[in-house]
Amino acid sequence: MTSPPDAPGEATRPVAPRPRRVVPLWGWLLVVVVIWWVASRIGDGRAVLYLPGQETTDFHDRFTDLKADLIAGRDTNVLMQVVGAVSDAFNGVVEQLQGLVSTPDLPRPVPQIGWLGVLGIAGWVSLAIAGWRHALGTMASLAAVGLLGYWVDGMDTLIITFFSVAVSLALGLPLAVWMGTSRRVNAVVTPVLDVLQTFPAFVYLAPMALFFSLGPAIAVAVTVLYALPPAVRISAHALRSVSETTIEATTSLGQTGWQRLIKVQLPMARPSIIVGVNQTMMAALSISVIAGFVNGPGLGKPVLRALTAGSNQVGVAFVAGASIVLIAIMLDRVTTAASERTELVARGGGGNRRTQRIVLAVAGAAALVSVYVSRTYFSFAEFPDTEVGPEVADAVQSATDWTTSNFSGLTTGIQESVTTVFINPLQDLVAGSPWFVTGLALLVLSQLLAGWRGALISAVCLSGIYATDLWYDAMVTLTSVLVATLFVMVVAVVLGVWMARRRLVDRLLRPLLDAGQVMPSFVYLIPVLALFGPGRFTAIVAAFIYAVPVATKLVADGVRQVSETTVEAATAAGSTPWQLITKVQLPMARGHLVLAANQGLLFVLAMVVIGGLVGGGALGYDSVLGFSRGEFFGKGVSAGIAIVLLGIMVDRVARGAAERDRSAPGLLVRLRTRTPAHHLS
Amino acid sequence: MKLRKASAITGSLATLALVLSACGGGDIAAEEKENESQAAAAGDCGELNMAVNPWVGFAADAYVVGHLAETELGCTVNYKDLKEEVSWQGFGTGEVDVVIEDWGHPDLEKLYFEDQGGDGSAMEMGPTGNVGIIGWYVAPWMAEEYPDITDWENLNDYADMFETPESGGKGQFLGADPSYVQFDEAIVANLGLDFQVVFSGSEAASIAAFEKAEANKTPLIGYFYEPQWFMSEVPLVKVNLPEFTDGCQDVAQDVACDYPETQLKKVVATEFAESDSPAVDLIANFQWTNDDQNLVAKYISVDGMSAEEAAATWVEENPDKVEAWLS
């Protein structure tokens, strides 16, 4: 294929004036797709590298043997003994904390601090760091979790979350500082973080259980692995963005590097670091359900139990999931407010210190009273049983039953037509072509969209996928991911534009989008299954629900940023609303649209494994298979590798395409919206 | 001003505390003492770590046995929600004592059973009395409408009917949760059936699919099994494959026969079996029927009881069966 006109080298050619593009980019893309399609007809299903669901290859078996060796040598393996000691320490800490607030601290029949005491302390802490509104919000959220009937599990989730976030920060901050001082470290650590964020947790759960035993420690370890990347990334970014002039000024005053770090960089980066804490917490919560797969304490367990008990338990799963959402929103709001407040205080604002101290002291006294009361009386120690949880569950259950029984005819029609019209033809092309045809086509497309760098990255990733012996499955997964992203973008653009143009719509939709992002997908899997039956479409729907919120928010922000004057000028010039949207607002928000597509893609990819649980097949199924059955462990690992490679390829090509567009927003937007990308929950 | 408001809050809180102490729930300190003296007098059972694999039938067994261990033997039972693979890993470290329902895992036995060359951390402890039946099933309405569909030799005549957008032009056969041993891809190929195995991915997905097929009278054939509470809701009908003979499933790629009936068994940690915990005898004696298990599973899945409630209810209703396990 020919390179597009703005490829490197073009500028040096003595052609003047620069010729207009004869064939636009989309023209080239079309040509590639047509040739690809013809080649796939000729190939007629040959050389697609299909491997049946329950077969493995030598590449896979090597990993399986590796794990068997680990198990056989576990009594003498030094690394395992060391990790075992660490995990004993983790278990000890978590059990102490549980005795403090969640489970009976024997021989005490109840935990040391009962629910009223926890409310008092949580309220006081929120008051201290975020203000009285947030204190009330925190207490209300916790009380609601109790009313829904999940006080103990909710406390366990909070314990695991806080402890994991503490560990993540203890590891992440020094790493971030190190990354900030050395470009080389940065170059090594960044891809490792990428892999950690995209590698499906399902694949490493079972081997991790060998190292970390089956107590709370493994929940902490899994959570830390997933929450570490945002902690490191955002802290490193925060340190890097402390202004050059400030640093130069202090250096000229003779500060050493260490002094600079402690006295200037860390304090100045504090608000951004709190944003990092926020994102780390959200990531930790989003993996809490996965931790339930290895008996991790917390709300993940009731959610998963409902999944095994079948369609009569959707309401129960919803109530447990809603508790996770409540906790997530509570932590999000408090940490965001805390970050804004430190910024305010850093600039010298923040109100009268003396009054603040008095209020805090009085509130502290009240909190102490509540702790005392909760230690003395049963009714303030154990959260009383209420009918609220079961009633909400029943209501949700009957609403779900009604929907599924009335609409399943219609939904089956939708599922069948989308599968026949979109998914199957695209899959025939991508997975049904001989592997070398698809590989070549993807390389050319990467080059067209993201230049030679993009093509090089794709070449590396595609070779890796070929090596995993899961080429066919990877291409089926790629197809589903692309279709899902397409749907996500269509809906995100419609909703995003609507939100940007109408304040009221924004105000109504935003909380729903927030909830959609944190609600564990396991909660809606069963109703979605009942509506659409197992299959790739259902997997796409699950991914769609997870990815739409982030993409929609990005589109809305992008459209809203188009300057008022431009919009007024266009309106004055007689543009109809339709013209205004299509000719002015959307083109000017192009950078955000590209970013939304990129994020949408990554979020969809993060749901591939969940898709495997509902008939999505391909790499998702392979990952679940590897976790469920020892003899397929290696296949699961290979599927994990293939998912990571697909993720890197798709992300880098999309990013490469975005970087060619000058209006693409900067790194911070990307960071802020990046997490809670989670593959599973 | 602020100060006065704050002290008013403290005052009212203190009053509240006083009122509460007057009507308070019970005395925590008193119960703590009682617990202490009870702990001294309690039996020698200690802790019992019970894995709970992710299907309702398993939970039925686990919670019934756990309930008895707790109430009759004074054990502290820790239920651990784990998949099979991870549960078996826990035998060697003392984190799992019992897997109460095992459907047969040759690969795990090789790793952990001494007589099969494993590390000896796990051992069998007799059958649960439940008989596992695995096979190909169709939605009940189909067996009624097309009586000869239950014979595999006629399946090709109906293959068109089972076609879906997922199955690439062939009839769709719904494969199951990846946890289960499945030979369906090989069976389809070796019997020359015009079907494509599409994996549902989870038990929940398979159940949802059969539920939907029966409700809407749409065709569906797939992998299913008993004992399973769902069978009492929608009694799926088994399709007869060529009969199982010894060894016909030894080579995965060559399988062309039905699944064998499986005597479900109990697997325990060797260390636990050799301990003097009174729970060892309970686990060894525990045996019941498919109907018993299905009833407890129905309490959980259909009637919405918690596993603990369901177990307690069944134990109360069946004192004679329980008696036999405890003696």
Q: How do residues A440-456 score in pLDDT, each as one tens digit? A: 999 999 999 888 999 99
Q: Which of A128-132, A220-224, A329-333, A587-591 has the lowest mean pLDDT?
A: A587-591
Provide the chain B residues 298-327 that lie in CB contact (below 8 A) with chain A: 300-302, 304
Confidence of residue B24 (pLDDT cuts 50, 70, 90): very low
How confident is the prediction for chain A on average, in pLDDT?
Answer: 84
Among A188-197, A462-471, B259-268, B274-283, the range scoring the smallest mean pLDDT is A188-197
What pLDDT, on a 0 to 100 scale, did the predictor assign at position A16? 46
CB contact under 8 A, A615 and B200: yes
Q: Considering only B27-31, B84-88, B320-324, which range has the smallest mean pLDDT?
A: B27-31
B217 touches chain A (CB under 8 A): no
Give yes or no for B111 touching A (CB within 8 A). yes
Rounded average pLDDT over A453-466? 95
List of chain A residues whose C-beta atoms are within 8 Å of the C-beta of residue B84: 628-629
Residue B243 contacts residue B234 (beta carbons within 8 Å): no
Nearest to A381 among B28, B205, B252 (CB): B28
Q: What is the mean pLDDT of residues A83-111?
A: 89
Is residue A578 very low, low, confident or very high in pLDDT (cuts 50, 70, 90)? confident
Q: Is the pLDDT confidence value at A5 over 50? A: no
- The whole-number pLDDT of residue B51 equals 94
pLDDT at B143 over 70: yes
Token match 């897997």: residue? B99
How is residue A13 written in tokens? 């050619």
Q: What confidence score (pLDDT) does residue A669 get?
A: 39
Contact at CB, A408 and B300, closer than 8 angstroms: no
Per-residue pLDDT, averaged over A247-267, amounts to: 78
Structure tokens at A499: 């939100």
Task: Tell me: pLDDT of B3 over 50.
Answer: no
Which of A198-207, B130-139, B292-301 shows the lowest per-residue confidence on average (mean pLDDT)?
A198-207
Residue A13 pLDDT greater than 90, yes or no:
no
For A131-265, where are the alpha helices, taking DSSP H only?
Answer: 132-147, 151-181, 183-198, 201-212, 216-240, 244-252, 257-259
How near does any CA of chain B get to the CA of A610, in Å? 9
Residue B201 to chain A, least CA–CA distance (Å) = 4
- The beta-carbon neighbor of B81 closest among A215, A304, A530 is A304
Closest chain A residue to B298, measured at CA: A309
Chain B residue with the nearest C-alpha to that of A364: B10
Binding-face residues of B in 118-147 toward A, CB within 8 A: 119
Place of tokens 């408001």: B5
Q: What is the pLDDT of residue A672?
A: 38
Per-residue pLDDT tens over the stretch A607-637: 888 898 888 889 999 999 998 888 899 999 9
Mean pLDDT of all residues in A525-535: 85
pLDDT of res. A9: 39
Judged by CB atoms closer than 8 Å, whether chains meet at A615 and B199 is answered as yes
Interchain CB distance below 8 Å, B86 and A294: yes
Confidence of residue B142 (pLDDT cuts 50, 70, 90): very high
**Confidence grade of residue A678 (pLDDT, cut at 50, 70, 90):** very low
Residues of B in contact with A536 (CB under 8 A): 166
- Are B107 and A615 a contacting pair at CB < 8 A? no
Nearest in space to A679 (alpha carbons), one of A204, A164, A170, A231: A204
| CB contact at 8 A, A466 and A435 | yes
Restricting to B residues 259-298, those with a Cβ less than 8 Å away from any Cβ of A are none
Mean pLDDT of the residues in chain B: 87
pLDDT value, residue A677: 36
- The stretch A462-485 carries a mean pLDDT of 95
Question: Per-residue confidence at A681, pLDDT binned at 50, 70, 90?
Answer: very low
Query: Among A15-19, A77-81, A254-258, B65-69, which stretch is predicted with the lowest mean pLDDT?
Result: A15-19
Among A9, A16, A14, A39, smallest CA distance to A444 is for A39
Cα of A179 to nearest chain B Cα, Å: 36
What number is the average pLDDT over the span A474-489? 94
Whole-Å CA distances, A366 to A138, A381, A458, A525, A644: 16, 16, 60, 44, 51
Which sign does the torsion angle of CA A65, A67, A71, A76 carry?
Answer: positive
Contact B92/A at CB under 8 A = yes
Q: What's residue A167's pLDDT?
A: 94
The answer to whether the bond into A107 is cis (omega within 30° of 0) is: yes
Residue B298: CA count within 13 A, CB half-sphere: 14
List, for residues A39-77, the tens digit of each pLDDT value. Answer: 888 888 888 888 888 888 999 999 989 888 888 888 788
Question: Most B CBs within 10 Å: which of A211, A477, A529, A536, as the mutation test of the B interface?
Answer: A529
Nearest CA in chain A to B81: A295
pLDDT digits (tens, 9 = 90+) for A300-347: 988 888 777 766 788 888 999 999 999 998 998 898 888 888 777 777
User: Is B216 an interface residue toward A (CB < 8 Å)?
Assistant: yes
pLDDT at A14: 45
Q: By percentage, how much of chain B surpasses pLDDT 90?
A: 57
What part of B 69-88 touches A (C-beta under 8 Å)?
A: 80-86
Shortest distance, CA B296 to any CA of chain A (angstroms):
12
- Among the partner residues B14, B82, B207, nearest to A310 by beta-carbon distance: B207
Contact B25 A310 (CB under 8 A): no
CA distance B154 to chain A (A): 25
Tell if the CB–CB gap between B86 and A106 is shorter than 8 Å.
Answer: no
| A525/B204 Cβ within 8 A | yes
Instruction: Give tens-digit pLDDT for A162-211.
Output: 999 999 999 998 898 888 778 888 888 888 888 887 888 888 888 888 88
| Amino acid, res. A464 | G
Q: In angstroms, what separates the C-alpha of A356 from chain B's closest C-alpha?
A: 10
| Minimal C-alpha gap between B151 and chain A (Å) | 25
Structure tokens at B92: 């060697």
Task: Flag the least confident range among A261-265, A534-538, B57-61, B126-130.
Answer: A261-265
Q: Do A530 and B208 touch (CB under 8 A)?
A: yes
H or E element: which one contains B185?
Answer: helix B184-190
Report yes or no: B247 at the A interface, CB cutoff 8 Å: no
Segment A414-423 shows an average pLDDT of 91
Phi, psi (deg, nearest 5) at residue B127: -80, 155
* Angle at A90 (CA atoms; ends A84, A94), nearest 5 degrees: 145
pLDDT tens-digit series, residues B235-267? 999 999 999 998 898 888 889 999 999 999 999
Q: What is the pLDDT of residue B12?
A: 55
**Predicted pLDDT at A666:** 41
CA distance B327 to chain A (A): 31
Query: Which of the four pLDDT bands, split at 50, 70 and 90, describes residue B8?
Result: low
Chain B residue closest in CA terms to A116: B17
Mean pLDDT of B40-48: 71
CB contact under 8 A, A613 and B201: yes
Helices then strands (H, E): number in chain B? 15, 9
Q: Over 90: is that where the pLDDT of B4 sits?
A: no
Interface probe for B, chosen from A127, A308, A356 (most Cβ of B below 10 Å), is: A308
Position B189 confidence tier, pLDDT thresholds 50, 70, 90: very high
**pLDDT given at position B121:** 92
Pick A630's closest partner by Cβ from B36, B85, B197: B85
Q: Which residue has the higher pLDDT, A676 or A382?
A: A382
Measured CA to CA, the distance from residue B187 to residue B155 in angstroms comes to 13
* SS3 at position B127: strand
Q: Can you give the three-state secondary structure of A484-498, one letter per residue?
A: HHHHHHHHHHHHHHH
pLDDT beyond 80 at A247: no
Q: Among partner residues B80, B200, B211, which is closest to A214 by beta-carbon distance?
A: B80
pLDDT tens string B56-78: 899 999 999 999 999 999 899 99
With beta carbons under 8 A apart, name residues in chain A contacting B122. none
Using CA coordinates, name the residue in chain B closest to A67. B111
Q: Which of B3, B95, B165 sits opposite A416 (nearest CB)?
A: B165
User: Is A530 within 8 Å of B35 when comparing Cβ atoms?
Assistant: no
Contact A621 B178 (CB under 8 A): yes
Confidence check: pLDDT of A670 > 70: no
> Residues with Cβ < 8 Å from A5, sequence gap 6 or more?
A18, A19, A21
Highest mean pLDDT among A594-603, A651-660, B266-275: B266-275
Question: What pLDDT was estimated at residue A349?
Answer: 67
Question: Does residue B3 sit at the A interface (CB-CB below 8 Å)?
Answer: yes
pLDDT for res A526:
81
Alpha-carbon distance of A495 to A554, in angstroms, equals 11
pTM equals: 0.85
Higher pLDDT, B5 or B157: B157
| Residue labelled with tokens 């100060």 | B3
Tell me the nearest-neighbour CA distance from B268 into chain A, angstroms: 16
Cα–Cα distance measured from residue A198 to residue A190, given in angstroms and rounded to the nearest whole number? 13
Q: Which residues of B touch A620 (CB under 8 A)?
A: 201
Partner residues linked to A232 by β-bridges? none
* B89/A71 touch (CB, cutoff 8 Å), yes or no: yes
pLDDT digits (tens, 9 = 90+) for A271-286: 777 878 888 888 888 8
Contact partners, residue A278, CB within 8 Å, separation at least 6: A331, A332, A335, A336, A339
Q: CB pairs below 8 Å between A and B: how many?
A: 233
Does B178 contact A at CB distance below 8 Å? yes
